[in-house]
Amino acid sequence: MGDVKMTCEGRVAVLTIQHPPANALSSAIIEALDVQLTKIEADSEVKAVIIHGEGRFFSAGADIKEFTQVSTSEAFSHLSRKGQAVFNRIEGSSKPFIAVIHGAALGGGLELAMACHLRIAEAGTAFGLPELNLGLIPGFAGTQRLSQLVGLPKATEMMLTGEPIRAEEALKWGLINRVTEEGIALEQAKQLAQLIAEKSAVSVGHLLSCLVEARQGRYGQGMEKEALSFGEVFASQDAQEGIQAFIEKRKPQFKDI
């Protein structure tokens, strides 16, 4: 059946997809992820989140066997909307999510990774949306997010051919942020997450909210959102602490207020 396990290391939550052998994103896994997201949102101690997969892959896609149990187009659309809604929670979170990717991120697995704010991958990892090879199309917002990240021409090529690209090419196209040697991506992600966790949760949350506007291409609305957030963040105690710490040449002590 599979599960999504959560552990905490300081202010960083680590979500581990446990659905061998391929960590397929079944309805049960998506539901388990949704449950963990609710816990993370309610926990003020958590300031950054890592998602990774146990075993050989980050996630090699949706659970294709489960598709055989869906009998109507309406039910299939419902499955798509559920996945989209959960992944939208990640993208719209006030806490940064880092996908740590090894082996493969294909289909739904890549769609999950693209919903995260940052992506770190091990060398040689395969990325792709091969749904057309099955006579299907991406259903968890892959058509939208891949186009935003790599540009429409490259996204169109990847989806029409169904052929994966490797981590090194994914880095060149802006699909991922970093490529590491095999076996060290998770440790690098933890270091990055701890660095982010030192920042004020107030400013991080406002920044991510502004970036949602940027990712969705709403330039004018994004500028207005930025201006409003700029003022709201300035009024926070953390901003005053940060400014004072800069003047006094010391490290700020943020309290997330």
Catalytic residues: 111, 131
* CB contact at 8 A, 178 and 120: yes
Give 138-188 as a 3 state SS string: CCCCHHHHHHHHHCHHHHHHHHHHCCCEEHHHHHHCCCCCEEECCCCHHHH
Residue partners of 66: CB distance under 8 A and separation at least 6: 26, 27
Write the burial class of residue 106 (CB in 10 Å: 0-12 exposed, 13-18 middle, 19+ buried). Answer: buried
Helices (runs of H) and strands (runs of E) counted in the chain: 11, 9
Side chain identity at 249, as an amino acid letter? K
